[in-house]
Amino acid sequence: MRYILGLASQLAEGGEDGDNESDNESDNDEEEEDEDNEDTDGDDDDKDGSQDEGEEEDDKEDHSSAQFTFRPHRGTRLELSEALFQLSMMFWTYQSQDGVMASSTIIHFTAVMGVHRSSLAYRDAYNSTPDLAALIWVGRLFFLEYSLPLHSYDTLVYVWPARRTYPSQPERLEAIRAKYMLRGCHSPLSELVELKAFGKSIIKQEGPRGNLTWALDGRSFTIGDDKVVRLSEFCATYQAAIAQVRELVAEMMLGWEPTVDLSTIRDDLTCRQPGWCFLDKPENNLAGTYKAMARRAWSSSFRGQALAKAGHWLPGPCLAYLGAGVELTAMGFSASHVTAGLPGRGTETTSIRFRNTKLAIRNVFICEGRVIVIISYNKARASNNHAFYVVRYLPDDLDSSMFLYLAYIRPFLDFLANQLELPQYHSNEFLFPDPKHKKRHLTSTQATAALRSLTQDLQTPWTISLYRQAAIAIAKRHISDLIKKRNFYYPSDASTPVRMIAAGVGHHPRTLLKDYAIDRALPAWLQPELLEMYRQLSTLWQSWNQQYYEEYCLAGGSHVVKDGDAVDDSAERGRCLADAAAPDPGWRNKRPASPSSSEMARKKRKGLNISSSSSGYLTPEAAATEPPKGFIYNAEYQILICVTCESIIHPGRRSFYQHLNRKHRLMGPACKAYMERLSILQLRPLKELAVPRGKVAAIPGLRVHKAFRCNVCPYFTTRWAKILDHISTHKLGVSLQIAWEMGKMGKCYVQTFSSAKGLIVYFEATPLPSPAC
């Protein structure tokens, strides 16, 4: 132990220049990134922490997958790593002489894990067994390296040989397994296996723990301790997901609205030819759609900029179009995951293919005028090797947009990528490719980020697992008659038609369904009976979402936000995402009595006039006193502040669009109307803004941060660790505590014009007095 501590102290003191320099560079990069993000609130950090960690893990996996050679550490770092591994194996290979494992360090550590950190009470078996399983998994990895190391351990007192020195590696592994890893061998790993088995027996007696609590009114429920899901938010998100995809697809079609009749599209659900999909079928006439898109794009503009000029494609607008395609990928995943039916697992829904490969058939098909997603993978197949198909039907409002994306937009994206020589934008067989262009398809972490982006305005932003729990809870409570025949391949009712026909031909119903009159146009285990069941399931799910949305969201009216008032009530903020997109506070939608009235409400919303003047335009002077609703125009600095976000919006139509569309989900005419109002303001670019010197009054509407100030030089930071590191650079010759008492640093309030990376410049501000209650 002293040897390990000595090596660690050498590294801390800068024992090796080469390793330490690289480590310091990475540390500095992390510190700079933290400094750039230090304007975020603590609650947001806690909320997004798991997501950020998952993204970092994905980046590490991508980086490691690109390097196939293992490069061990050198020098002191190598000695420390080998010494730590030796110490770990001393713990794992401990064997008690009397058979009592209580003296084992790992078993003692396991006992400590079984106690609550705050209440000091014993944890129940349901919450303890996952930790035991994780520890067992780690122990097995240690024993694998202990048995057959890739490289020899040369820095130890006794050199540990590499795997190639053993005459028979299987015999070596079996010897270690029989001595330390089997039940009854009196080793820590064996004791952990016994504890896990004992915990499972207790779980079977007590049953699983509940994780969901419904509200008394039945309109919301809580998952876990604090994850609140409201049914109005749930159904409004359903509608918003479809609206976002349709809006972006219409924008990327460049004003072209080709006639889409999915009932005329022919597809083959059993074709396994590699690289084939319904787009390649000659009867569909979809082979050259990218040419039609290219001809239209040659004379069209995208977001106010021409895509081509003087016979050449313009890189800037074309890159913006490619970026919109990446954005559409995330939106398409969120929309299909939320609307297609009861959700699947993240690993199933992110790896959906729309083209066949050599190893697997595709998942996206056109069947009877509907876009369907067929997934045969499930957790049970890994153990029983039985295929089990799950079919999800996209809603009518979404399947036409997804068809346009696959048939027109995606081929044109490939064409643009070829013209600009950007191979990273080339598509593959997956429906949702990786937006970072590192992996072949969307990862579970990126899928969770897309779902969080869709629900970022809700009280509890969704994750893949949270949405799956919520959807199942709603289905069990509100859609009790999802399906009356639970399994078409095992009918139990005597009056079931399949059972009656089977009796007439002298067969068991299961034999009739899997061996006789099998439709060749469908997979063997996905015959019309089961396909009809899944169609009913998706239809019931989509109908319930639409009905609840019309009853409790549209009929309930939109939430009115007054000028300069920030919405703090999470219940009202998440009442209805679609209503929040309507900026006219005087409009209240009534409950539609028929689809025609719903269409009239949609047209009425599209015709909103958000301007307070009769002409629809304001001069900059009038905008300073009567700004657009939800925004503050500061005439002194000539900046525009969003009241809800408490941040500055940079000038420019592109910046306006990104803020209104991505932050506040404004789309279509409502978004354009806001952009027209904001474009007439005289806004100063960020580079021309003069940072106030000295202490000034806080700018109204701009977020005020609690910070620390250096009284030796003009330095501000919101992190305590940063100010301590900064004071140390002045070499005052006193301790940090004395420097604090001497007034060399202190607390203050600051603001910044930008929270973007590399653009944070704090200035001290005096907070405005709180309004009287």
pLDDT above 80: residue 768: no
Output 536 or 424, whichever has higher pLDDT.
424
Confidence label for 262 from pLDDT (cuts 50, 70 and 90): very high
Q: Residue 491's pLDDT is what?
A: 46
- What is the reported pLDDT for 617? 40
Which pLDDT tens digit goes with each residue over 746-763? 999 999 988 876 788 899
Polymer length of the chain? 773
**How does the average pLDDT of the chain come out, rounded?**
77
Contact indicator for 212, 145 with CB cutoff of 8 Å: no
CA 699 – CA 764 distance, rounded (Å): 11
The per-residue pLDDT for 379 is 61
pLDDT at 46: 38
For 186-231, what is each residue's pLDDT tens digit? Answer: 899 999 999 999 998 988 888 777 788 888 888 899 988 788 898 9
Residue 345 banded pLDDT, cuts 50, 70, 90: confident
User: 525-558: per-residue pLDDT in tens?
Assistant: 666 767 777 888 888 888 888 888 887 776 554 3
Contact indicator for 338, 238 with CB cutoff of 8 Å = yes
- C-alpha dist (Å) from residue 489 to 388, 535, 593: 11, 16, 40
The domain locations on the chain are 17-68, 75-206, 220-545, 620-686, 696-766
Predicted confidence at residue 498, as pLDDT, reads: 61
pLDDT band at 460 (very low <50, low <70, confident <90, very high): confident
| Edge-to-edge strand list for the sheet holding 227-230 | 212-214, 220-223, 227-230
Q: Is the pLDDT of residue 518 over 80?
A: no
What's the rounded Cα separation, in Å, for the pair 63 and 61?
A: 5
Least confident of 58-72, 284-298, 555-569, 662-676: 555-569
Instruction: Choose from 102-111, 370-379, 499-508, 511-520 the range with maximum mean pLDDT.
Output: 102-111
Dmax over CA atoms of the chain, in Å, equals: 99
pLDDT > 70? residue 334: yes
Q: How far apart are CA 91 and CA 106, in angstroms?
A: 6
* The amino acid at 547: Q
Q: Dihedrals φ, ψ of 751, to 5°? A: -135, 165
Average the pLDDT over each of 15-29, 124-138, 378-392, 615-629 and give the range with the smallest value: 15-29
Is the per-residue pLDDT at 36 higher than 50?
no
Task: State residue 356's pLDDT score.
Answer: 94
- The pair of three-digit structure tokens given for residue 286, joined into one six-digit string: 């979809």
Give the pairing type, strands 762-766 and 745-752: antiparallel
Helix axes 105-113, 125-147, angle to 10 degrees: 150
Residue 332 pLDDT more than 90? yes
Could you give the C-alpha distances from 738 to 723, 735, 748, in angstroms and in order? Answer: 14, 5, 19
How much is the average pLDDT of 10-38? 47
Burial class (CB in 10 A: 0-12, 13-18, 19+), 41: exposed
In the predicted structure, residue 589 carries a pLDDT above the cut 70: no
Query: Which residues have CB under 8 Å from 199's CB, separation 6+?
Result: 125, 128, 129, 132
Q: Which of 105-114, 399-408, 481-490, 576-585 has the lowest mean pLDDT?
A: 576-585
Question: What local confidence, expressed as pLDDT, does residue 450 receive?
Answer: 93
Confidence of residue 411 (pLDDT cuts 50, 70, 90): very high
Q: Between residues 261 and 661, which one has the greater pLDDT?
A: 261
User: Higher pLDDT residue, 6 or 241?
Assistant: 241
- 417 touches 410 (CB < 8 A): no
pLDDT digits (tens, 9 = 90+) for 596-618: 334 433 333 333 333 333 333 44
* Residue 650, pLDDT above cutoff 70: yes
Mean pLDDT of the 287-315 span: 90
Q: Which residue has the higher pLDDT, 118 or 16?
A: 118
With beta carbons less than 8 A apart as the criterion, state whether 731 and 737 touch. Answer: no
More confident residue, 511 or 371: 371
Buried b (16+ CB within 10 A) or exposed e, 447-486: bbbbbbebbebbbbbbbbebbbbbbebbbeeeeeebeebe
What's the pLDDT at 609?
34
Which of 73-82, 286-295, 427-436 is predicted with the least confidence, judged by mean pLDDT? 73-82
Q: What's the average model confidence in pLDDT over 346-356?
A: 90
| CB atoms inside a 10 Å sphere around CB 76 | 18
Q: What is the mean pLDDT of residues 236-249?
A: 92
